[in-house]
Structure 1
Amino acid sequence: MKKLLMTLAVASLLISCNKEDSTSVNESSNQTASLAGHRGCYSHEHLEEQLKADPTLAQRMNDIEVHTAKTAAAIETGRIVNGVLEIPVVVNVLYRTTAENISQAQIQSQIDVLNKDFNAQNSDYNTANNPYSSVRANVGIRFVLDAVYRKSTTKTSWGTNDAMKKSTQGGLNPTSPTTKLNLWVCTIGGGILGYAQFPGGSSATDGVVIDSKYFGTTGTATYPFNLGRTATHEVGHWMNLRHIWGDATCGSDLVSDTPVHNAANYGVPAVGHRSTCTGTPLEMYMNYMDYTDDRGMYMFSNGQKSRMLAIFQVGGSRASFR
């Protein structure tokens, strides 16, 4: 198991989702993913772009790490219902085609998945032969659909430069981003399933973007990413979780109870799959923060739970949600 790492050089460790072929993609590059069928997420690259654009972001994120390390994993007061933190969710749908204008049922199916995955109610939570069942977490966060906004556009794809979040660029501005989780559903392009903004970024672009083909469990949801786990993964980033391999060979995700991974896993790894890192630890490939297919991921760890809940505490980066 890894020890929790803290460093002032947080910018060098900050993560998110890599795209399918590990090549940077943006709206102008027209690059496409080469590994069809692999999970593609752009949070890490997006963060690196934000760090370059805003020299103060690295310090804000380091402050978040310091607070996270000091904070006990408990939510004391605030928007709590039966001991569970409730987060209002605003869904912003940007569509060119009828298929992209996803149904209310598809939207609700995604909210349902988030609620199951973050409350240990997913049907695969008790999967047999899970070697990490002792550290499985019930995070205890409930998501409540607050509003759905729809906008017809002429764009065939939106890229990863946050245009979908800006009305001046044809998108939809976030609604109350300091108290509501905004999700944008659109065609991203470039093989990207979704990307999130980490805590510490601008509220004007805060939230999660998910391609309409990988949102929810019905309608346009496309195998092998048709179980709503792209949103679970991205919301994990929005709550300050790193990729389980730390976005580096044998890197750290800053969580104490997850094993070191040498790289991302794809598909559904065989039971007993081990890392090539020192000690050849058994990998937690069933974790939501890996890159497996939707059917291959089904748990957060207790350490990840502590890290997520810390940002909602007094003094935390998302304390305004309490």
Structure 2
Amino acid sequence: MKKLSILLACGIIFITSCSKPDKNSSEKPVTGNTTTAVRERHCGTMEVLNEQLKNDPALASRMAAIEANTNRIMENKSLYRLLPDGSIMIPVVVNVLYKTTAQNISAAQIQSQIDVLNNDYNGLNSEFSTVPALFSSVKASVGVHFVLKSVVRKSTTVTTWSTNDAMKKSTSGGINPTTPDSVLNLWVVGAMSGGVIGYAQFPGGASATDGVVIAYDCFGNTGTATAPFGLGRTATHEIGHYLNLRHIWGDATCGDDLVGDTPLHNAANFGCPSYPHLSTCTGTPVEMTMNYMDYSDDACMYMFTAGQKTRMLATFVSGGGRYGFAH
């Protein structure tokens, strides 16, 4: 189990990318004797955060304050009474930027993503009952609910979006966020540079770019949603970041994800690892490859932990960065 720590500076922030390897990428894994390219999950959240920290000198201190507030609650159970208990309702605006007819995803596909989020964040997903016995005592229903507020659509000539937040700005051909202090904005786009399939902004970032970006073929579980990321779990993962969760491997070899009840991971896991998947980190723990904050395929990630729940709910407390959703 990992010791909780406080984010005091951007020096512990590591660069990674939520992307699918390009066709000619050297990062594609090879299974057995096959040479077939395998799509991998990666997320651009930490890469984007690194750039934001460079461009906004005050961001590190804002995030450090949020982290200190979060740790104050997580380390003192008497303060858990401050946390909302199933009362958080998150309005969602879905901003669809499309160049092709396929990218202009249907209302049914959008609603399917909302349904997936409500299932995943409330332990209603069908796999929740299949969590291995080793982790059953820490699996958690977060108690956060999502409701679709509106859909904004805009035709674009952009073929490939980068992770520079252009899709969030009307001046660069995107769509400005709707009241981001009290509404979760999701941008659904076509291709992103580097094969990125999604990224999020952590609490503490600028309101003008606050929200989550998802590729149109990884959004929801119907329509254009495509395996192995066709069950809507990319949004589940990215909204975890939006609610202040880190990757389960801490973006370092045997790193710290700032949660006490997740096991140490060597690094990200891809595909559908066989259980039990042993870590070579201290103690050789069984890795929680089915956690939403790993990089497993959609069909093989299906749980949050109690510690992750507390960390996410702490964002809705005063000083937590998502307080506007609670009031």
TM-score with structure 1 length normalisation?
A: 0.92
> Contact 1:196 / 1:234 at 8 angstroms: preserved in 2?
yes
Change (3 A) 1:90 1:33: farther
Aligned partner of 1:91 among 87, 94, 99:
94
Q: 1:41 to 1:188 in 2, by over 3 A?
A: farther
Letter in 2 for 1:198: F
Q: Which residue, out of 189, 213, 217, partners 2:221?
A: 217
2:151 is paired with a residue whose SS is strand
Taking the aligned partners of 1:215 and 1:73, their CA distance within structure 2 comes to 33
Q: Any idea what SS the aligned residue of 1:234 has? A: helix
Pick from 228, 231, 239: which aligns with 1:227? 231
Question: Which range moved further: 151-160 or 91-100?
Answer: 151-160
Instruction: Return the match for 2:122 from 87, 94, 119.
Output: 119
Cα separation, partners in 2 of 1:116 and 1:179, compared to 1, 3 Å: same
| Residue from 171, 183, 187 that aligns with 1:184 | 187
The number of aligned residues is: 311
CA distance, structure 1, for counterparts of residue 316 and residue 15 of structure 2? 20
Counterpart CA distance in 2 for 1:75 and 1:139 is 15
Correspondence for 1:236: 240
Moved more, 152-161 or 97-106: 152-161
CA drift at 1:315: 2.5
**RMSD between superposed Cα atoms in Å:** 2.0
**Pick aligned residue for 1:173 from 165, 176, 200:** 176
2:83–2:314 contact (8 Å) kept in structure 1:
no
Following superposition, the deviation at residue 131 of structure 1 comes to 2.3
Q: Is the 8 A contact 2:66 2:319 kept in 1?
A: no
Does structure 2 retain, via aligned residues, the 8 Å contact 1:13–1:246? no
Change (3 A) 1:300 1:100: same
- Mapped pair 1:299 → 2:299: no
Secondary structure, in 3 states, of the residue corresponding to 2:217? helix
Which of 47, 51, 63 is equivalent to 1:49? 51
Report what 1:151 is aligned to. 154
Q: Which residues in structure 2 correspond to 1:1-322 (within 5 Å)?
A: 1-13=1-13, 17-20=17-20, 34-35=27-28, 36-71=38-73, 72-74=79-81, 83-127=86-130, 129-189=132-192, 190-322=194-326
For structure 2, the 5+ residue unaligned runs are: 29-37, 74-78
SS class of match (1:311): helix
TM-score, structure 2 normalization = 0.90
Structure 1 gaps of 5+ residues are 24-30
Cα 1:224–1:105 change in 2 (3 A) is same
CA distance in 2, matches of 1:15, 1:64: 21
Deviations 1:195-243 (A, max 9, x none): 0001110000000000000000000000000110000000000000000
- How many angstroms does 1:34 deviate by? 4.6
Q: Secondary structure at the match of 1:121?
A: coil
Shift of 1:74: 4.9
**Letter paired with 1:174:** P
What is the one-letter code of the residue matched to 2:155? Answer: S
If each structure's helix is expressed as a fraction of its own residues, which one has the higher value? 2
Moved over 2 A (4+): 13-21, 31-36, 71-77, 128-131
Q: Hey, what's the Cα distance between the residues in 1 that align with 2:127 and 2:143?
A: 17
Q: What does residue 26 of structure 1 align with?
A: none
Write the letter of the residue equivalent to 2:62. R
Identity of aligned residues (%): 61
